[in-house]
Amino acid sequence: MEPSTKPVLYSYFRSSCSWRVRIAFALKGIEYNLVPVNLIKDGGQQRSEQYSKLNPMQQVPAVEIDGITLCQSLAVIQYIDETRPGPRLLPVDPKARAKVRMISDLIASGIQPIQNLSVLQKVGEEKVPWAQHFINRGFQALEPILKETSGKYCVGDEISMADICLVPQVYNAERFKVDIGRYPTIRKINETLVELEAFKVSHPSHQPDTPANLQA
């Protein structure tokens, strides 16, 4: 029997970085096997010796695909885009592509790492104001950028990696009670995106490891 060649995604239901990859797989119509990694239980399953071999950063996501193991969600997403058919996740035009990467990196480097679990665990008691501060700082920057770049979506009228990064970051913002109403362009684009099938099927409330009380 032929071994499965489906990609394997190590994911946590509520990890925004894992969600990005789930969205990308859904947009491309790629079937994959999902292995849940619980970031809280057992001292954090991402810290196990076995998982550390897959991703020595001890973070999700990690992906086994085409015989290699990849970490870092945007590296995974661009690899998928460059090797699989289906809708492009980055535009053809180099300037538009640069804007997609700029917006993606603003979120994936400029906001999320500063409010991710391991940093918040180190911050301790002040974690909520900390997260709010850095999310607001990032969204204050993203709002005028998106005003300039957006059409129907973050960059023009085609869904891109920027949109893939935006929705999970808005979800994080809402978890930390950031007032999205302050960012009308972000809110409007998010509202459009969350209605799309790829964003729904990959949503944290619908994952194999979503706790019962958080299922939609």
Q: Which residues contact 81 (CB under 8 A, 6 or more apart)?
A: 24, 28, 88, 89, 90, 161
CA distance 90 to 97: 6
Q: Candidates 119, 120, 128, 196: give the one binding a copy of itself (CB under 8 A).
A: 119
What radius of gyration do the chain's Cα atoms show?
17
Task: Count other C-beta atoms under 10 Å from residue 37's C-beta.
Answer: 27
How many angstroms from the chain centroid is the CA of residue 72? Answer: 10
- Rule CB under 8 A: say whether 145 interacts with a copy of itself: yes
CA distances from 120 to 37, 125, 172, 202, 205 (A): 19, 9, 13, 25, 22
Q: Candidates 40, 42, 82, 184: give the one binding a copy of itself (CB under 8 A).
A: 82
- Rule CB under 8 A: say whether 121 interacts with a copy of itself: no
* Token pair for 159: 């869904």
Residue number with CB closer to a copy of itself (126 or 206): 126
Q: Candidates 3, 94, 181, 208: give the one binding a copy of itself (CB under 8 A).
A: 94
Q: Candidates 97, 127, 175, 187: give the one binding a copy of itself (CB under 8 A).
A: 97
Site string for a copy of itself, 31-60 (x = CB under 8 A): ------------------------xxxxx-
Residue number with CB closer to a copy of itself (116 or 210): 116
- Rule CB under 8 A: say whether 8 interacts with a copy of itself: no
Least gap, CB of 185 to a copy of itself (angstroms): 12
CA distance 215 to 25: 21
- Rule CB under 8 A: say whether 194 interacts with a copy of itself: no
* DSSP SS3 for 195: coil
Binding site for a copy of itself (CB under 8 A): 55-59, 66, 68, 70-72, 74-76, 78-79, 82-83, 94-95, 97-99, 101-102, 104-106, 108-110, 112-114, 118-119, 122, 130, 133-134, 137-138, 140-145
